[in-house]
Each structure stands twice: as structure tokens, then as C-alpha cells.
Structure 1
Amino acid sequence: MYIPRTRLPWVGVGVTHRNGRGLLPDSTRRTRGAGASERVAMPSHAIQPVPSSERILALDVLRGWAVFGMLVVNMGYFSQVALDPPAGSDAVAAALVQLLADDKFWTLFSVLFGLGFAMQLDRAAARESRFAPVYMRRLLILLLVGLTHALLHPLEILHRYALLGFLLLPLRRASTRTLVIVGPVSLLAPPVVQGFGELGSGDTSVTPESAGQRQADAVRVYSEGSLLELLTYNVRRFQREAADMRVLAPFPYFLLGFYLGRRRLLESLASHLPLIRRVRWWTLGLGIGLQAVVLPVFFLPPDMVPPVARPLFPALLDLGSGILGIFYACVILILVQHAGWNRRLRGLAAVGRLALTNYLLQTALITTLLYGYGAGFYGRLGIVTGLPVALLIFLLQIISSHWWIRRFRFGPVEWLWRSATYGRPQPLRAASSLGAHVG
């Protein structure tokens, strides 16, 4: 999705890198009536957070895996942003990260976001409670968290999830046919439309000279700037990125997750395993194949790529990345069904229980390690040397997450999010038995 502009010479010049009654199948749901009101006698606060005893292990493992993947990608991004393309072993590592990790894990997070929407809608219907007001409060709080996070990570994705989450509300009663139509259109249209717009704009406001100056400014801020300088620079960077139509990219994966939630995939995982096994191989072949064909195009000289074809390649690369992210999810879901792997994956589940806290903490740790306001390893920590650091950070997060969930019901940020959503502090201390299922 967020392909570094320096790799796209024919796009532009720059340094930016980048049992729920409400969820039954349509034929069954009609018995309730399409016009059923959401407002019933119970107040909106009847909707409550999911108790620990009702959590689905596979969902937490998937979240933990996505948190790990985002860490690997972001370590490479933060350590290389605004620098010249890597060489030698770092170039090989960068290519592998691009092929196997980049843009694969935010797509998985997006599917999980849509699946979570379906599960929340399901629980609200089961309780006969109003759904939309509580959900909108959740999104508004997530938006504030995301905008705050953007001060350190201008390409962060939480605020996009919050804004795009509002688009799910009008589709909560949509038929499967509607989702099947809207999903592919929302996947392919934004990058293609933006690509053709850039192609026909003839924008010459960014020249090689101005791009070089922008790169020099960025390197100075990242390597030796104060925290205030970094925050100010990131605000400007965030404003530039906000105009990119590819910020819409998570939405089709929201719809996929919503559809899977309707089908109650995780609640009836064993019965879906034959299909998941088949999808695993389809997505592996398609994901790797699309990227292997498309990625080399981004390194060709501009005159070797027909202008009319240029907008199509980012869309195809996005598609290949998303498909490979689904492959990873299929593998995780298959492994969770095996007793031995189920135990081994509990570490991921612990991290997934605190996914939001761990994701934000990763940004704080990496930027403090790399940038001038902290330890100042920017420009000295390559991609190869950064990977062991990422693994160490994640190991510490597994240990700390296990420690935390044995004592508390939610992560710190998750607790604040839930408390603000429901308008009162949520119980934080966990009974000693609640953490046993992940221990």
C-alpha cells in the first residue's frame, strides 16, 4: 500500500515512504424484518466489554501475530525513513521484508477490525441493546488515540480505522451480495483513481532539488532534532499523507472481516477447517505470484512502463499484499487447532490481548531508540541489525503481556478506551483464574 515514493519514479518525486440475531444469513434474518428498530427498552449501557472467559483464543493469536508483523515492518521503516536505499545485506533484507511483511499485517489487522465489528453487532443484538451510539463513541476515542500516535508515527493507521469505521455503520444490515460488490470496488478503485489523477495532473511542484532539500531536512530532524522538532515535522508529514487516496485501503478488508464475522468463522472454526486449508494454498500462490510479477516494475526506468499501465501496478501490489496477509491468517487458524501448537501460540495470544497497548509501545520504544531526542541510532542501525532488536522487543512484550494479563483484565490503553466508551471506569483487576487460559 504505502510504497516509498522513491521507488516509484513514474508516479512522483519525493522522500515520503510511506449467535447473534443480527448476524444470521440473509435468508434467515428476514424473519426479524428488515425494518426492526435498534431502540428497545434496555439502555445503551447494557452493552458491556467481552469478559475474559468469553474470549476466543484464535482471535487473540491473530492479533498477536499482526502486532509482531507490524513491529518488523516499522523497525525497518523508522530506521531507514528519508535515507538513501539500502545496499548489500540490508538491501536483501529490505526486499524480503517488502515481499513477506510490508503491507501484510495492517491488512490482517483490518480484517480483524471488521470481524470485531460483526462480533460487537452480534452481542448488541443478543442483548437487544442499541449498537450505533456505543460504537461511534469507540471510534471517536480511537480517532483521538490515532491522532496522538501520529505525532510519533505520521503513517500510523489507527485514525484511518476510526474514520473508515463510520462507513461500516450504514452497511451493518447490507446483504452479502452488497458486500461482495462494494468490497472489490473499494479495494481497486482508490489506487487506480489516484494513479490516473497523478498521471494527468502534470504536477511539477516537486522537483529533484526540492525533494533533495526535503530529504536533508528530514535526516537532520530524525538524527539530531529535539522532540519538539520531531513532533512538528511529523505533523507536517501527516498532513501531506492525509491527501493520499490509499488511506481508504483498509475498508475492503473491514468488509471481508464483517462477512467472516457473519459466518461466525471463529466460533465454528473446526467446521471451517477444510475450507481454510484450501484457501491457504490459493492465497499463498496468488499473494507471492502477484508480488513477484509486480514488484520488479517499481524499479524500472520510467520510460519502460507504459503511462496507461502505471496506475494499475500499485493496485495489484496492494491486492497481492492483502492476499498474502490472508494466507498468514489461514496458517495461524490451522495451527491453533493443534494441541501442541495451541500451547506454543499462547505467547502471541497474550500480546494480542494487549494489542493496542503493545502497538503504541512499539512506536515509543523504536523512536526513542533511533531518533535524536533519544539514543540516536538513526542511520547506524540497518535493517539486518534492526531485526534482532525487533525480536528482542517482541520477546519482552510477550513476557510483560503474560505478567499483565494474570493480574488485570485489560491492557492500560485498552482499559482507558473501554472506560471512556462506556462512560465509567471498567473493573481492571482480574481474578486469579482469569489469566489461566493464556498461561
Structure 2
Amino acid sequence: MRIFVDEFLEGANSVHHPVGPTPRVVEIDALRGLALFGILMVNIWFFADSSTVAGGPDTTTTPMADLIVLFLVATFFEGKFYLLFSLLFGYGFAVLQGAGGQDPLRPVRRRLGFLAVLGVLHGVLLFYGDILLTYALAGALLVATRGIPVRRALGVAVAITSGVAILFLGAAVLLLVIGADGTSSATGTALPLTGGPGAALAVNAATYGIVLPSVVLFQGPLALAAFYAGSAFAGSGVLRPDPPSEVVLRRVAFLILPVGLGVSALQACLSLWAEGEAAALLATGLSVAASPLVTLGYASLLLLLVRTRAGGLLTGILAPAGRLSLSNYLGQSVLLCILFTGYGFGLMDEVPPTAVPGIVVVIFTAQSAVSRLVLATGRTGPLEQALRWFVHRPGRRPGT
């Protein structure tokens, strides 16, 4: 995988670039908006379908049309877009670190503290699959290891991702060899979040306490790997100031992306139709290995598209949402709670899977439109405003 990431570094410049303040790069906002859309397409199933956290639907009774939708979501979305978001998080860390000032790391530490508190509140109150606390913890490790050379950061990213993939693939092979495969890959019981606001809160908070360790221990290392890769991109001048060449972008988009999607399709088949713990572990390992390739492919494809006339329209949709990414990420959870849980209409398990992607498009389009209106007034999102105040508030004077 490292050679594919190297393409981005070679496509800009191989020398280290300063990453101090420069005018906002619309391509980064568009990439962040694309990540938000993909994350929404994945997260919505935890609200719309109570069987999602339990290992998925019963394929023997689920209509084929519904299974096809789930297969497409697993192939094209699962595991890809939180990595893109993580990549951009690491990119932003490098930019903030290079912003100068008396203590350039103070705003980074304050951002991480803000995200940690917000993540816990988000996880307990709204969505048990919160990623913000994991980002804060992984970000603390990134701060602790700041200053490592670009190529070494890239090597660490590849090593972490490869190690996690090998761990799951090796465990799957071991189960098959010793004949302890098991008969079912289901992980638990369906979790209805309906029944009124109090019941929804109780179930969500309890589930958050159960899944938090696995989120931190599984997604945490992969997010950290993406942080390192993103910081390497920033340090190599990718997008700021020079985007990768069109030749590099085409090579990644049209050669690497199909390979990643092919492996992802195999992973989706295993997740939906194969039984046994070995199949579940194998699917996870394949997902970990393929997702970075797909993520880089999507990023390359978007960077190619924004250079076209149609790409301007796409950027106009994605970039405003990306600029208000924190408010929109939490806003998605609020809207999904209102639609599907006891906080609102309680439509969990009531909406057919074939209609769920349409809901995603409607929600994201509305968020983009609202974001554009907010930005047109010269303001920013409520959580972005709160974060800015928290990061830039005066520190306590010595002796006070």
C-alpha cells in the first residue's frame, strides 16, 4: 500500500514544505464534505435497522433488493470515509502545528480536549458509535510523536494498517486450520432505540459503554495511521501548495481504486452471506486492507473531477458542508435520532432499506444548503464557533 501513497507524495514534491497559514483550499473542504456524505451513508443503518449492531439481517428472510442495497453500501462506503475524514484530520493537525505563535501546540491540545468532551456527550446522548473521542485519543498520540520525518510518518501509517489487517487475516486462517470456526458470525441482539426519549437514551448510553472499547481499540489505530498519512501529505506539500499531477491522480483512480473495490466486494459478500467467526474475521481483515486503497482512489477521483465543469457543481455541494464539518457531523446524529429513535418519530425498522440511501441524499443536500446560507452571512457553524472560542480563549495568568 505504501507505494500508492507515495504516488501522492511524488506527485507534489518530495521535499518538505512549510505548512503555515495559507488561503483556504476548496479541494480540502470538498474532500471533507465527501467524507461527511460517506459517513452518513454508513451511520444511518445503526439508526434505521436495529439488527445492524447485531451482525446484520437474516439473509434467508430478507428480500434480495434489500440485500443488494446492503451489499452496495458495504462495498462502496463501509470503512472508507471515516478513513478519509481521519486523513484530513491529520492534514489539519500538520497545518495547525505549522501555524507558528508562542505555543503552536496549545490550540491543538485544546482542540483535542474539546473533541474528547464533545465525543463523550455525543456517544452517550445521541450515537453510541461516536468517533470523536477516539480521534482525541489518537490525536494525543500524534502530538506526542510530532516532528517525525515525513517518510517515517508514512511508514508508521502503513505498518499500523498492515499489522491490523494481518492480525485479523491470521486469526481467520488459524480458526480454519484448527477447525474452531463456529457456526454464526452474529455479534449480539438487535437494539431497538424506540419507546420514548428516556428508553432511547438508556439503550444508547448502555450500548455506548459496551462498544466504546472496541471502537477505540479497532478504529483508533486505523485512525492514527490515517493521521500520520495526512500529516505526511501536508508536510510534502500535497494540495498546499501543489496538487498531485493529473497523471498520478489517474493512476490511483483508475488502477488502484478498482483493486480496492474488488476486494471490498469480496468482503461485503463474506459479511452478508458467509457464516462463522472465521468468515467474519476474514471480512474484517480484507476491509482493513482494501479501505485505504479505496479512500485514496476516491480522493483522486474527486480531485480529478473538480478540474472539470461538472466538478464545479460538485464542489459547490460538498465544500460548504465540509467547511462546517463538526456541526454537520453532530447534526446528522440529531436528525437521525429524530427520524428513527424514541427521541422523535421512532421509525427504526419501519423504513425499507431500499429507501434509506434516498434519505441520506435528502439530509446531506439540506445540510449543504444550510451550510451555504450560514457561510453567506459571514458566520460559521455553532460547534465551530464554540471550538474557536475554546481554542483561542486567553489562558490563565501565572499566579492567578
Pairwise TM-score range, normalised by the shorter structure:
0.7 to 0.9
CA contact (8 A) 1:79 1:370 kept: yes
Between the aligned partners of 2:249 and 2:187, the Cα distance in structure 1 is 46
Deviation at 1:363, TM superposition (A): 0.8
TM-score normalised by length of structure 2: 0.81
Q: How does 1:7-406 map to 2 (within 5 A)?
A: 54-82=23-51, 84-85=57-58, 86-124=62-100, 127=101, 129-151=102-124, 152-190=126-164, 192-193=166-167, 214-215=189-190, 218-219=191-192, 222-224=193-195, 226-244=196-214, 245-247=217-219, 248-270=221-243, 272-298=245-271, 299-302=273-276, 311=281, 313-406=283-376
Between the aligned partners of 1:211 and 1:327, the Cα distance in structure 2 is 31
Distance 1:25 1:280, change over 3 A: closer
2:231 is aligned with what amino acid? F
**CA shift digits 1:199-234 (9 cap, x unpaired):** 89xxxxxx99x977x43xx23xx132x323222222
Deviation at 1:314, TM superposition (A): 1.7
Deviation at 1:311, TM superposition (A): 4.6
Distance 1:102 1:312, change over 3 A: closer
CA contact (8 A) 1:192 1:311 kept: no
1:32 match:
none
Identical pairs, percent: 26
1:113 is aligned with what amino acid? F
Gapped regions of structure 1 (runs ≥ 5): 1-23, 30-47, 201-206, 425-439
Classify the secondary structure of the residue corresponding to 2:202. Answer: helix
Between the aligned partners of 1:268 and 1:323, the Cα distance in structure 2 is 24
Deviation at 1:195, TM superposition (A): 7.7
1:407 matched to 2:377? The reply is yes
Between the aligned partners of 2:17 and 2:304, the Cα distance in structure 1 is 29
- Across the aligned residues of Structure 1 and Structure 2, the Cα RMSD in angstroms comes to 3.2
Deviation at 1:409, TM superposition (A): 3.5
TM-score normalised by length of structure 1: 0.75
Distance 1:310 1:188, change over 3 A: farther
Between the aligned partners of 1:371 and 1:28, the Cα distance in structure 2 is 48
1:110 is aligned with what amino acid? S
Distance 1:297 1:95, change over 3 A: closer
Which stretch of the first structure deviates more once superposed, 78-87 or 370-379? 78-87
CA contact (8 A) 2:164 2:288 kept: no
Deviation at 1:26, TM superposition (A): 7.1
Distance 1:390 1:294, change over 3 A: closer
Deviation at 1:115, TM superposition (A): 0.7
Larger Rg: 1
Distance 1:253 1:275, change over 3 A: same
1:236 is aligned with what amino acid? A
**CA shift digits 1:297-334 (9 cap, x unpaired):** 343333xx8x6x97554222122122212211111111
Between the aligned partners of 2:109 and 2:116, the Cα distance in structure 1 is 10
2:9 match:
none
CA contact (8 A) 2:116 2:133 kept: yes
2:85 is aligned with what amino acid? F
Distance 1:323 1:195, change over 3 A: closer
Deviation at 1:381, TM superposition (A): 0.7
CA contact (8 A) 1:60 1:348 kept: yes
1:11 match:
none
Between the aligned partners of 1:251 and 1:123, the Cα distance in structure 2 is 21
**CA shift digits 1:375-418 (9 cap, x unpaired):** 12111112211222221112211211111001133211111011
Between the aligned partners of 1:139 and 1:179, the Cα distance in structure 2 is 20
2:5 match:
none
1:104 is aligned with what amino acid? K
Distance 1:79 1:364, change over 3 A: same
2:379 is aligned with what amino acid? R
Between the aligned partners of 1:238 and 1:412, the Cα distance in structure 2 is 25
Distance 1:147 1:408, change over 3 A: farther
Distance 1:283 1:65, change over 3 A: same
2:43 is aligned with what amino acid? N
Classify the secondary structure of the residue corresponding to 1:123. Answer: coil
Q: 1:423 aligns with which of 367, 371, 393?
A: 393
1:371 is aligned with what amino acid? T
1:94 is aligned with what amino acid? L
Gapped regions of structure 2 (runs ≥ 5): 1-12, 176-182, 395-400
Between the aligned partners of 1:278 and 1:54, the Cα distance in structure 2 is 28
Between the aligned partners of 1:107 and 1:405, the Cα distance in structure 2 is 26
Deviation at 1:119, TM superposition (A): 1.2
Between the aligned partners of 2:244 and 2:257, the Cα distance in structure 1 is 22
**CA shift digits 1:143-192 (9 cap, x unpaired):** 11111111211111111111100111133211234223311221133465
Count of residue correspondences: 364
